[in-house]
Amino acid sequence: MATKTIDGHQVEVNDEGYMLNPEQWNKNIAVEIAKEEGIDLSDKHFTIIDYIREKILSGEALSLRRIGKSGVVDIKEFYQLFPGAPLKKATKIAGVPKPESCV
């Protein structure tokens, strides 16, 4: 476990940079993490991030397939908004643990 300063806040992160305490997250922190990932956040990004936080924090597991069937975003757009590894990047920006389905 390490501590990282993001947007002037000290947050606990794991060795991959995922926040360990979702309660420390806020939208300004999300913007800063997204910048590190090369993503400029839009309202659509935040709609997806809010969905991810809601599901993860209620104890539900997420996968690419589940995101695609959510009605929030389809898989193609999800890849466009979070290029490369969309679920990894989206959960990191959302301040929640990396899903077990991601390697």
Distance between CA 74 and CA 76 in Å, rounded?
6
Q: Check 31, 72, 85, 102 and give the catalytic one.
A: 102
Category of 88 on φ-ψ map: left (φ > 0), alpha (ψ -120 to 50) or beta: alpha
- Amino acid, res. 91: T
Is 23 known to be catalytic? no
Residues 67, 75 contacting (CB under 8 angstroms): yes
Residues classed as catalytic: 102
